Amino acid sequence: MALPAQNLHEGRVLPNGAFEYLSRIASSLPSIQSFSKLAFGGAQVLLGSETQVPLGRSSGYSCPHPQLSCHNTSVVENTCCFNYPGGQMLQTQFWDTHPVTGPVDSWTVHGLWPDKCDGTYEANCDSSRAYGNISAILTSFNKTELVSYMRTYWKDYKGNDDDLWKHEWSKHGTCVSTLETKCFTDYTATEEVVDYFEKTIELFKKLPSYEWLASFDIVPSYTRTYDRRAIQEALSTHHGAPVTLGCRYGALQEIWYHYAVRGSLQSGMFVPELPDGMKSTCPQTGIRYLPKSHDRPGRPTGTTTTTGALPTGTGGAFEGRGILNVEMASGGEKGCIISKGTWYTGGRCATFKAEKKSRGDGSRNDDDDNERGFTLSSRRGKCGIAHSALVCGPGVSATRFTNKGGLLAVEGNTTFYAEEVPRHSVQEKVFTDERDQELGIRWKGV
C-alpha cells in the first residue's frame, strides 16, 4: 500500500527552539529540482539520507535513502523502512512519588509509543504477538544486563514490572510497523521484542531528565514550585525540541520526548520532533516537583507559592451507581458533581451510573485493570466532554472515562479545573483545560 505524503505543522505557533530544529530538517531535504527527478510509477520512493540502514541483528534487510517519518514528501510503500501509521515515537518517563518508584535521583521508563502524525494512535495491533513472558524472552537472547537495568529503571508503581513490560509491548510495541515479522529475514521468533526494549532503554539513557532539570536548578522540593516555561526550557534546551509535560494535581509526574525517525525503529535515526498535539497537562505556574521520599512531611509552611497536598486514599471502582465527590488540589473534599455535570457545594449530590466499555477502543491509559474504561450517565442523560467541559444530558456523546487510583480520568489525566469554587446555590462548570482551580473527581458507590 502506498502511503500518502504528509504536510505537517502548517499554521502552528512554534515553541522556543523549534525554528533551529526545523532548519535542520529543511537542510536534510532535497532541493526543488530534485523532486522533478522522482519517479512514482508504483516503485518505492524514498528521500533523505544516502545511508544504507540494516534492519535487525540478523536480517541483512536494508533501507536505502529512508525518509523521515511524518515528513515524507512522496509516497512510501515499504513500511519496514518507514514507520507508519505510527510515525512519531514518544519516549515517555515517570516520576512516581506516591508510592516511591525507582531511584530517588532518576526518572523511570514508562514506554516507547508510536503515535500517528496527527496525535492519535493505534493500540494492541497484533494479538498473536502479545507475549506475556518478556523477561524470559530477553534472557533467552542473553540480554541479562538489559533485564537487570530494566528492573531498576523500568518500574511498575504497583511492583509488577513484568506486567508493565508485557503491557507496553502488547499495546505499543506491536503497533510499530518496522517491527513486524515480515521485516526480518532469517527471522527468529520474538527477536522483535528484543529490538523494542533495547531501543527504549537506549533512548532513555540519552534522556537524563533528572540531571537536565537540575542543571537549571529545578530540583525536587516540598517548598519550591516552578513555572512550566522554566521546566520546558530546561528539557527542550538539552533535547533539541519541546516536550510534553504531565502533571497530577499540579505535581510534575510525566515527561514525553517526541521523535521522528529516519528509517526503522531498530537502526534508524531518531530526530527530536515537535509534539504531535497540545497534550501538556501542567499549569503555567506553581508546579510542584516532589521528592521521592518515604518520610513525607505534612503540608509545608513558607512555600514560595501556594501549593496543595495530593489527595490520599484509593477510592472505589467505577461500577453500578455512585456519586462523584470533588477533591480540591489544596486538600479535602468540597461538594460534588450534580446531574448536569456541574460542580455544586450547596445541596444534594446526584447519582450517576457507570457502565463498562468493551476492550480495544484505544485509550492512552496504561492501567491494565482499567483498559476497557466506562461511560457515565445521570438522570439527564449521557455524560461527556464537550468543548473541554463536563456535561450530561440529551444529545451528549458519551466520553470513555477511566479509573486512575480511584479518580475519574480522561485520556489518563485526573486533573480537572473550574473558574472558582462554587458557593451556596451557585454551580460551576468543570473543564479539562486549565482554569484557576484544580480539582479531582472521586467515585463513591451507593
Q: What residues are labeled active site? A: 110, 168, 172
Please state whether beta strands 407-409 and 402-404 pair in parallel, antiparallel, or not at all (unpaired).
antiparallel
d(CA 399, CA 376): 8
Q: What's at 246, amino acid-wise?
A: G
Containing 239, the helix (H) or strand (E) segment is helix 228-239
Q: Provide the β-strand partners of residue 102.
A: none
d(CA 124, CA 361): 10
Containing 23, the helix (H) or strand (E) segment is helix 18-28
Dihedral (CA of 352, 357, 363, 367) sign? positive
**Is the separation of the CB atoms in 111 and 123 below 8 Å?**
no
**CA 23 distance to own-chain centroid:** 27
**Distance (Å) of CA 157 to CA 38, 193, 443:** 51, 22, 22
d(CA 174, CA 192): 9
Q: Provide the β-strand partners of residue 444.
A: 323
Nearest to 416 by CA among 444, 387, 391, 440: 440
**CA 220 distance to own-chain centroid:** 22
Could you identify the residue written with the cell 509535560? 245
Burial class of residue 333 in the structure, from the number of CB atoms within 10 Å of its CB (0-12 exposed, 13-18 middle, 19+ buried): middle
Cell of 442: 472521586
Burial class of residue 116 in the structure, from the number of CB atoms within 10 Å of its CB (0-12 exposed, 13-18 middle, 19+ buried): middle
d(CA 67, CA 45): 9
Cell of 208: 537524563
**CA 408 distance to own-chain centroid:** 17
Containing 34, the helix (H) or strand (E) segment is helix 32-35
Q: Provide the β-strand partners of residue 333.
A: 327
Cell of 309: 497536598
